[in-house]
Amino acid sequence: MATLTLYQFATCPFCAKVRAKLEDLNLDYQKVNVAPSRDDEQRKFLFEKSGVATVPVLKVTQDDGSEKYIGESGDIIAYLEKNFS
């Protein structure tokens, strides 16, 4: 089973939509709050991996150790519905 990590702002409405979908699908996931500054190193890393400069970003770690980073709440929700419903 994949390990899911959601990079988010606690008060972000798009992050809340993704959290609601994760909970609706009864999926275990970790939340990581990121700094609001786009100059933050973690934010730069997430942009590099996902191609998206905003949150939420979902990291999917497969059993073989491979990682996929998905940005944009709509894309994350579509991925979750396709792969975990």
Residues 53-62: tens digit of each pLDDT: 999 999 999 9
Whole-prediction pTM? 0.94
Residues 58, 76 contacting (CB under 8 angstroms)? yes
Backbone angles phi, psi at 22, to 5 degrees: -60, -45
The arrangement of secondary structure in 3-84, i.e. its CATH architecture, is: 3-Layer(aba) Sandwich (3.40)
Separation of CA 84 from chain center: 14
How confident is the model over 68-84, as a mean pLDDT? 97
Q: How confident is the model at residue 85 (pLDDT cuts 50, 70, 90)?
A: confident
Amino acid at 11: T
pLDDT digits (tens, 9 = 90+) for 20-73: 999 999 999 999 999 988 899 999 999 999 999 999 999 999 999 999 999 999
Domain residue limits, the chain: 3-84
